[in-house]
Amino acid sequence: MDRITGIIRYQWRAYWRRFARARSLTAGNQGITLIITAVLFFKYLGLLGSAAAALSSGDTKLFQALLTAISLAWVFLPFSTPPSVIQLHGLLHMPLALKAFFTIRIASLVITPYSWIVMVASLAIGYPLAHAVSPWAGMAAALLLVTMSCLIGVTLAHLVSIAMWRRLLIALLLVSVSAAFLLSTENARLLLRVFRFPVDLVTTAAMGRNLVFVISLLLLMNLVVVGLALWSLRVYLQTTPGRRSRRRTSILFHLPTAVGSLAAKDVRYFRTLLDPYLGLLVSALGCLYLVTSDSPSAAIAWLFTIIVFLPNSPLAFNSFGLDSPAALERYALMPASGETIVRAKNLAFVILCTLQVAPIILLTYGRLGLSAGTLGLVLATATAAAYLTWGNWMSLSLPSKMYAYRFAPTTGTLPELMAGVFFGSLPGILAVLVLRSDGLPTMWLAALALIPFLLFYVVVSVRSGRRFDRQRERIALSLKLR
Amino acid sequence: MFEIQTHNLTKQFGDLIAVQDLELQIPKGTLFGFLGPNGSGKSTTVKMLTGILQPTRGEVIIGGQSIGSSPLEVKRKIGVLPEDLALFDSLTIMEHLLMAGPVYGLTRKETERRAEQLLGNLDLWSSRHTFVDEASTGMKKKCALAMALIHNPEVLFLDEPFEGIDPVSSRNIKDLLLLMVGKGTTVFLTSHILEVVERLVQSFAILVNGQIVCSQTVEETLRSGDTLEDLFFKHVVRGKIEELEWIG
């Protein structure tokens, strides 16, 4: 046990040393986490009071919603923990059993400040539970739910790091969402209940019904999940160090010019983030809407087009986040200007967003005609240009480390992020104005709306290229710190 | 005409002077060895010569052009095997070369042709689809070397090229370097393996504490009856190893 405690203690020290070395709240996601936490905390406190009052009168809806949020926060906790907190593969040469690795893995989750926030929020759920019919049973069930959610998160985080399992999980997610969309309302509700079943069990325990059965069932579910987590850890430890071999080179490496070849590399990097897969999900939903709706609306189709860009925003706002300091050194060795490197990153963003937006636009053309389709295309182009204009500035000013197979951390501070999202949404606002105008031909207005965004983009990308040449070492240092 | 020239090249990190007033003049078609103990400033010098690091003062001229005023023009002429290899995670060895070729202005077809030949010579062809983050140290080094060579550079900078390389590949690299030098390429290499340097290079310099303490040709060294190792330890003080009574 001493060995494990020693490892965790030194990893703890190393993490906090890296954290302190940043010396700025804008580094990583510290500033934004602090602000959002404070805002959400006060909101959460208010909701806890309401949930307690509702629960004492037998209304469980709000309590269940809060419990679902807590459960999801625990599922996502392992995804938000940077792998650098504890690098398990670095410990493989030590005489440690699987159980020891498992203990270290679980302990690594509580090193980051985000986990403390989740823990405090989880403890606070005890307040409404204290007003339930059976508070102690409710708290025991809630504790079992939290443990289970955390272990599910750990299992998923391990499996997502393995190529075969990653594909399988993405397919499963897309099938589930499509099924929920395509099924009748009744069946969709049934599907949702399956996912909500553990939360329902906690509520049943809190209301003092079937106590023995509910607690036993939750215990059994926990045992199964512990087994799954241990199995996934073993697979994770065995799989990653092995050689994975590609049979052929990606077709993207056939792209001509320096920008094209560098963009091929960036596409490879960007698609390892989990965020673009949310964009894919939005795109799938948009397509389903356009295919299944009897009379689809152009406004809703455009809305889907704009929403696709939101989860992809880290690719534009923190485009160097997946590069290592060694990669930045390679950029310096190449006869490529900063502008070429920035444009390559932008091209990679455009390629990935095009793959997600193109099906919606094509279906808009098919179902809503030439005019709506073209406006959708203009809107997508203008939105991409707006995101990249703001993103190029933010990528160079506030770079922070991102990790493959994790969600991207928010970067910068709240005002910059809000301004970025607002600027990126400007084309959407203009589209609404275009819709309302009757006097001028719509196409002309759309084209006019596109020009300033493209101009902004051209000017900013040239300036960003020069800034990259000057600030490459500072960016490398920022990426090294976390 | 010197292919590599430096004047008063100095790099200072805070109070630490890593490299001080370095004067180098290396003619075209020379295989030049740059020697020195760990922390003597070799890699810092290579970084300044290749444009990765801005010197605190002084100038670097490569092929008649200043790297300070014409960085892209100089970078097109040079090939670099850097100390930390500067490779991209999640790309295969082949993809590294396919990415590098067009950046140096090569066509896709020419890049593929050269990549095939280089990887064959470096015994990497069968591993071409291996991701570099999962490749061995030697494979990574050979991948970085192939990237340095693919555009047929006029000047080649190699930081510890033989470290972690197997004997067969090591011999292939030496033959390749001699072939390149024979065709007029200038090679600037740093190495700790003094026997290899002695047999390979034409001239060398020894750097200690950021300053050149000795600069001559191998021929001059051998003529004086010394080996390169003798000369090296004349200039580099060796610390006494403490007694480790608990070992064994």
Query: Mean of the per-residue pLDDT values for chain A?
Result: 83
List, for chain B, all residue ranges whose pLDDT scores fall below the cut of 70: 239, 241, 248
Residues 6+ apart with CB under 8 A from A157: A78, A79, A405
| Whether the predicted pLDDT of A181 surpasses 70 | no
Question: Which of A242, A333, A336 faces B82 most closely, judged by CB atoms?
Answer: A333
Is residue B123, in this structure, part of any structural domain at all? yes
Give the A:B interface size as CB pairs under 8 Å.
Answer: 94
Question: Which of B51, B80, B134 faces A244 most closely, judged by CB atoms?
Answer: B134
Residue of B43, B103, B104 to mutate, testing the A interface (most A Cβ within 10 Å of its Cβ): B103
The CA distance from A184 to A190, in Å, is 10
Here the CATH number for the domain that contains residue B105 is 3.40.50.300
Closest CA to B136 of B179, B174, B165: B165
| Whether the predicted pLDDT of A171 surpasses 90 | no
The 10s digit of each residue's pLDDT in A85-128 is 667 877 777 778 889 899 988 988 888 877 888 899 899 999 99
Indicate the pLDDT class of residue A28, thresholds 50, 70 and 90. very low
The CA distance from A260 to A250, in Å, is 13
| Whether the predicted pLDDT of A23 surpasses 60 | no
| Whether the predicted pLDDT of A237 surpasses 50 | yes
pLDDT score for B20: 94
Closest CA to A271 of A170, A123, A154, A393: A170
Q: How far is A262 from chain B (nearest CA, A)?
A: 6
What residue segments make up the domains of chain A, in order of their start? 2-175+193-239, 251-481
| Whether the predicted pLDDT of A83 surpasses 80 | no
Which residue in the block uniquely carries the two structure tokens 């390629």? A351
Q: Report the b/e string of A278-308 with b at 16+ CB within 10 A.
A: bbbbbbbbbbbbbeeeeebebeebbbbbbbb
**Is there a contact between A200 and A213 (Cβ–Cβ < 8 Å)?**
no
| Whether the predicted pLDDT of A482 surpasses 70 | no
Indicate the pLDDT class of residue A441, thresholds 50, 70 and 90. low
**Is there a contact between B91 and A327 (Cβ–Cβ < 8 Å)?**
no
- Chain B residue with CA closest to A325: the answer is B86
In degrees and rounded to multiples of 5, residue A24 shows phi and psi of -155, 140
Residues 6+ apart with CB under 8 A from A291: A363
Rounded average pLDDT over A344-353? 95
Which residue in the block uniquely carries the two structure tokens 């999940």? A225
Q: How many residues does chain A have?
A: 482
Q: Which helix (H) or strand (E) holds B173?
A: helix B167-182
Residue of A324, A329, A470 to mutate, testing the B interface (most B Cβ within 10 Å of its Cβ): A329
Q: Report the b/e string of A20-45 with b at 16+ CB within 10 A.
A: eebeeebbbbbbbbeeebeeeeeebe
Is residue B42, in this structure, part of any structural domain at all? yes
Indicate the pLDDT class of residue A415, thresholds 50, 70 and 90. low
The 10s digit of each residue's pLDDT in B44-57 is 999 999 988 889 99
pLDDT score for A411: 54
Cross-strand bridge partners of residue B11? B19
Residues 6+ apart with CB under 8 A from A373: A361, A362, A364, A365, A366
Q: Which residues of A touch B132 (CB under 8 A)?
A: none
Residues 6+ apart with CB under 8 A from A385: A450, A453, A454, A456, A457
Residue of B70, B91, B93 to mutate, testing the A interface (most A Cβ within 10 Å of its Cβ): B91
Token representation of residue A46:
């208010």
Burial of A469 (0-12, 13-18, 19+ CB in 10 A): middle
Indicate the pLDDT class of residue A242, thresholds 50, 70 and 90. very low
The CA distance from B107 to A464, in Å, is 28
SS3 assignment, position B15: coil
| Whether the predicted pLDDT of A195 surpasses 60 | yes
Q: What single-letter DSSP state applies at residue B45? A: H
Token representation of residue A208:
């003092």
Q: Which residues of B touch A244 (CB under 8 A)?
A: 131, 134
Whether B13 and chain A come into contact, CB under 8 Å, resolves to no
Between the CA of residue A75 and those of A118, A227, A336, what are the distances in Å?
A: 11, 16, 42
Rounded average pLDDT over A452-466? 90
Rounded average pLDDT over A360-373? 90
pLDDT score for B67: 92
Tell me if B131 and A248 make a contact (CB, 8 A cut-off): no
**Structural domain count of chain B:** 1
The 10s digit of each residue's pLDDT in A262-289 is 999 999 899 888 889 889 889 988 888 8
Indicate the pLDDT class of residue A80, thresholds 50, 70 and 90. confident
Phi-psi region of B76 (alpha: psi -120 to 50; beta: other; left: phi over 0): alpha
Q: How far is B169 from chain A (nearest CA, A)?
A: 21
Is residue B29, in this structure, part of any structural domain at all? yes
- The complex scores an ipTM of 0.80
Please give the distance of CA B23 from its chain centroid, rounded to a whole number. Answer: 18
CA angle (A14, A19, A21) in 5-degree steps: 95
| Whether the predicted pLDDT of A306 surpasses 80 | yes
Between the CA of residue A80 and those of A57, A73, A83, A113, A275, what are the distances in Å?
A: 37, 10, 9, 11, 12
Q: Which amino acid is present at B47?
A: K
**Is there a contact between A142 and A202 (Cβ–Cβ < 8 Å)?**
yes
Residues 6+ apart with CB under 8 A from B2: B25, B26, B27, B28, B61
Rounded average pLDDT over A454-474? 90
Is residue B99, in this structure, part of any structural domain at all? yes
Domain assignment of residue B31, given as a range: 2-235
| Whether the predicted pLDDT of A247 surpasses 80 | no
pLDDT score for A27: 47
**Is there a contact between A316 and A390 (Cβ–Cβ < 8 Å)?**
yes
pLDDT score for A435: 65
Residues 6+ apart with CB under 8 A from A317: A387, A390, A391, A394, A395, A411, A412, A417, A420
pLDDT score for A2: 72
pLDDT score for A13: 80
The CA distance from B80 to A330, in Å, is 10
The CA distance from B181 to B173, in Å, is 12
Q: Which amino acid is present at A321?
A: G
Q: Which residues of A touch B75 (CB under 8 A)?
A: 333-335
The CA distance from A75 to A148, in Å, is 9
The CA distance from B147 to B106, in Å, is 12
Rounded average pLDDT over A299-326? 89
Helices A338-368 and A298-309, axial angle in degrees (round to 10): 160
- Chain A residue with CA closest to B81: the answer is A333
Token representation of residue B232:
């090296």
pLDDT score for B164: 82
Of the listed ranges A33-42, A360-369, B203-212, the least confidently predicted one is A33-42
The CA distance from A317 to A321, in Å, is 9
